Chains A and B, each alone.
Chain A
Amino acid sequence: MNDRVQLKTAPSKITVTDDVWVLHFPRFGEEGTHFHTYGMLTPYFKGLTEGRLMATLCANRGCPISKGRGEKWLPPRADCPDCHQPMVWQEVVNPIGTIYTYTYVERGGTGLEIECPYYQIDVKMEGVGTIVKSYLLDRKPIRIGDKVRARFRTGKEATHTCLDLCFELA
């Protein structure tokens, strides 16, 4: 083990149909694979593999909560829960944030693809209304409030899952 967290996984296979990603979960070999769609959130997962953090926000001026100036949602959602109208995509540029809370995971359940131990972190980012759960590449001691910067697993390194977003200490 070195001082940077590694993944123990091969890229998950995906099927692309009309720009939608369908992820393969091979539970019992090829025949037992589950085909899980990312549906309208596909731009988020695709964005990660291209090194971009894509969020959604409500731009509907008639929305009682956002009034058309909504904070970003991460994880994104395609439709606004407050006015039920479609949200719009926007990239989080310069994706840095602070650690809101964290845990040092000593062991995980069967099939965990992240090498233990590692920090699972919840990150608060400027302009984002939600708090993003992810993992930290660094293993050195951390505190709530520490600054972190998003990193991405892109190209051939991409897993096509939420693991393609991670953070490192800024």
Chain B
Amino acid sequence: MIEFKPGNLRVPRWTRPVYMVAAGTSDFRKRYPEKKIEELSMMAFRMLVEENGLKIDPLEVKGLINFACYGEFADHFQDQLLCEAKVHDYLGLDLLPNVGIKTGGATGGSALLMGATTVASGMADCALVLGWERMDEVKTWTGNYYIASAACKDFETRLARNYASYYASMARRFQEMYGVDERVRAEIAVKNRGYACHSPFAQQPGRHTVEEVLKGEVVSDPLRFLECCAMSVGSSAVLLCSESLASRLSDRPVRIYAAGGSHTLRTGDRRPMRILLLPNEKETDYRGLYKDMEKQDGRWPGFESFGATRFAAYMAYHMAGIGNPIEDLDLIETHDAFTISDLQTYGDVGLTLYGREQEYVTSGDCYLANPKTGKPGRCPANLSGGLLGTMHAVGATGIFQAGEVLWQLQGKYDKFHGDPEIWKRYGKTRPKDWQSLQVKDPRRGMAISHAGVGSHVVCTILEKV
């Protein structure tokens, strides 16, 4: 059993507030030979400065930037070291300082966290956060080996060379521990891929059924193909700034809070701990769960939960004054690289208690419109289409998620997803049955950026002011 000391649980106190005012993105494709990574980054940057209704000329916006944080997951995918310098130059930002940030799947969220701290500290007044990934230079199964290099090289990578297998063992344990019906996982794939049908940026939108998901080919039992995200190419960006600059730039600036957590790469090395309680939880809430764990040889976080997500959520909630996430958050973007990671996360971030994640999904509260009641879901998840439906160009992912939450809070879902011209830009036609997925008057949203089997996690809360 390991325990925290008081210093470990100090809540971050930024020296000044930080705001997000704009977002931009490319579309996402499994293969994107038409454009180089710098050109895709330019697409995201152009949308950021030109299409967010900023109150000053785009080139003047660029003239305000004094720091850049770049997210790129894997040099070996790009086959290029120091890609940051190439992108920075291509965007015309020389000689400004930039740093490259790498924390696996959470790279985008970590770039956001670092960008926010440059503004919070006064190091920068206006910071660009931009990420990308190019995963199409190698065949899919070589790509899977590359990703599996994010498992432990000495003790794990050789045991599959396919990341799905490391999640599959978590899925198996979660399923047995909590008696999960695999239809619930399939429902998550159907929901998120369905939401992607309304996004012009989406790589693999689809109107699937639970039966279709479950009949699909198995990648690593119990995970099927439609439960796993795909290789992806693209870029996303957001612009962060100080309070005074935010009001100069935007009529609808959004305040940002971000915090991270981490946990060992090898799931089996995660030693048992007492559950770190969120503001809405009490020790007695988990009496039954601890007893069940004793009976089933269980442990927390074990294979069922992500301790890093819980830690990041704990910090971010205390920073943002979130007392009860299901009441205080109006939407969420989870890191649904696999259906199981989406399901596990609902307990980690306290939208429901640990052990009740399945019931939370079937309650319909994670939908825009609750399919059971027809009323709005309490905290819709992955309206962007998520990683399953829209994208996982890894270095861009956490940034893309936060950008989608920003647009929701600004009431701009339709502007960026419904405009037929944007669809045309990517060689697509807006579907005839396109629907607005704009949440009605949301105040707060959260994006969860997540690496490995939960090795690094950043929770970013955005709040309308």
- Per-residue interface assignment for chain A, residues 100 to 117, with 1 indicating a CB less than 8 Å from any chain B CB and 0 otherwise: 111111111111111000
Are B158 and A101 interface neighbours, CB within 8 A? Answer: no
Residue in B2, B172, B271 whose beta carbon sits within 8 Å of that of A101 in the complex: B172
**Mask: chain B, 1-22; 1 = CB below 8 Å from A; 0 = not:** 1100000000000000000000
Mark interface residues in A73-115 (1 if CB within 8 Å of B CB, else 0): 0010000001000000000000000101111111111111110
B218: which of A104, A114, A124 is its contact (CB, 8 Å)? A104
Docked-complex contact A131 and B158, CB < 8 angstroms: no
Of the listed stretches A54-62, A132-140, A150-158, chain B binds A132-140
Task: Report chain A residues within 8 Å CB of B267.
Answer: 122, 131, 133
Tell me if B160 and A110 are in contact (CB < 8 A).
Answer: no
Which of B35-43, B139-147, B399-407 lies at the interface with chain A? B139-147
In contact, B139 and A105 (Cβ under 8 angstroms): no
Contact B158 A162 (CB under 8 A): yes
B residues less than 8 Å from A133 (CB atoms): 155-156, 159, 169, 266-268
Given contacts A36-B153, A102-B169, contact A109 B160 (CB under 8 A): yes
- Interface check B221, CB cutoff 8 A: yes
How does the 8 Å CB contact mask read for B210-223 relative to A, with 1 for contact and 0 for none?
00000001111111
Most chain-B CB neighbours within 10 Å: which of A75, A102, A103, A107?
A103
Residues of B within 8 A of A41 (CB): 154
Q: State in angstroms the CA–CA spacing of A122 and B218 once bound together.
A: 20
Asked whether, in the complex, the Cβ of B303 is within 8 Å of the Cβ of A134, the reply is no
In whole angstroms, how far apart are the Cα atoms of A163 and B160 in the complex?
A: 11
Beta-carbon contact of A101 and B153 below 8 Å: no
- Bound: A105/B151 CA distance, A: 16
- Interface residue range, chain B: 35 or more
Complex formed: what's the CA distance from A110 to B165 in Å? 14
B158–A107 touching, CB < 8 Å: no
Contact of A100 among B165, B218, B221, B303 (CB under 8 A): B303
A150 to chain B, nearest CB (A): 14
Q: Are B154 and A75 in contact (CB under 8 A)?
A: yes
Task: Known contacts A82-B2, A109-B144, A109-B161; decide if A75 and B172 are in contact (CB<8 Å).
Answer: no
Chain B, 260-282, CB within 8 A of any chain A CB: 266-269, 271
Segment 19-69 of A: residues with Cβ below 8 Å from B: 36, 38, 41, 65
Interface residues of A in 115-170 (CB under 8 A from B): 120, 122, 124, 129-135, 144, 161-163
A102 lies within 8 A of B172 (CB): yes
Q: Are A107 and B169 in contact (CB under 8 A)?
A: no
CB nearest to A145 among chain B residues: B297
- Confirm or deny: B384 has a beta carbon within 8 angstroms of a beta carbon on chain A: no
Least Cβ distance of A100 to chain B in Å? 7
CB neighbours of B172 from chain A (8 A): 101-103, 144
By the criterion CB–CB under 8 Å, are A105 and B158 in contact?
no
Given known A101-B173, A102-B172, A134-B159, contact A120–B303 (CB-CB < 8 A): no
B236 proximal to A (CB < 8 A) = no
| Residue numbers in A under 8 Å from B147 (CB-CB) | 109
Question: For B222, what are the chain A residues with a Cβ–Cβ distance below 8 Å?
Answer: 103
Does chain A have a CB within 8 A of B408?
no
Cβ–Cβ contact A120 & B268, under 8 A = no
Q: Which residues of A contact B75 (CB under 8 A)?
A: none
Q: How far is the CA of A110 from the CA of B222 in the complex (A)?
A: 21
| A103 to B, closest residue via Cβ | B168
B186 on the A face (CB < 8 A): no
Contact B162 A112 (CB under 8 A): yes
- Please name all residues of chain B whose beta carbon is closer than 8 Å to the beta carbon of A101 when the two chains form the complex: 169-170, 172-173, 176, 303
Q: List 12 A-B contacts (CB under 8 A).
A: A75-B266, A100-B297, A103-B169, A103-B220, A106-B217, A108-B160, A109-B161, A110-B144, A120-B220, A122-B268, A133-B267, A161-B158
8 extra interface residue pairs, beta carbon distance < 8 Å, beyond A104-B220, A133-B266? A100-B303, A101-B173, A103-B221, A106-B219, A109-B144, A112-B145, A112-B158, A124-B297
Point out residues on B near A: beta carbons under 8 Å: 1-2, 139, 141-148, 152-156, 158-162, 165, 168-173, 176, 217-223, 266-269, 271, 297, 303
